[in-house]
């Protein structure tokens, strides 16, 4: 009986994990605000083993596009 409950909990947890990944809900709100503040464009990667983050990194893509209004005022 306990094994059945554990299996059901694991299935529910994995279903929630898949839903969050599909919905792009994998970053904390603070991290999302930081990425928006620096206008980050790039790729983040996280390597996880047994629920622990082993390694994380990013690929350079941190290029800011000048805003049209700012460019027009400077010319």
- pLDDT tens profile 7-58: 888 999 999 999 988 888 888 999 999 989 988 888 899 999 999 999 999 9
Total structural domains within the chain: 1
Phi, psi of 55 (to 5 degrees): -155, 145
E strand spans, 5-59: 43-49, 52-59
Closest CA to 27 of 52, 39, 44: 44
As a whole number of angstroms, the distance between CA 22 and CA 16 comes to 10
Q: In terms of residue numbers, what domain contains 57?
A: 2-74
**pTM of the complete model:** 0.59
Contacts of 62 (CB under 8 A, 6+ apart): 38, 39, 40, 41, 42
């Amino acid at each position: 009986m306990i094994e059945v409950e554990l299996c059901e909990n694991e299935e529910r947890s994995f279903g929630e994990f898949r839903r969050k990944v599909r919905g792009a809900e994998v970053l904390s709100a603070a991290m999302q605000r930081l990425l928006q503040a620096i206008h980050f464009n790039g790729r983040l990667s996280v390597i996880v083993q047994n629920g622990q983050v082993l390694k994380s990194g990013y690929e350079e893509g941190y290029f800011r596009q000048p805003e049209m209004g700012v460019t027009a005022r400077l010319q």
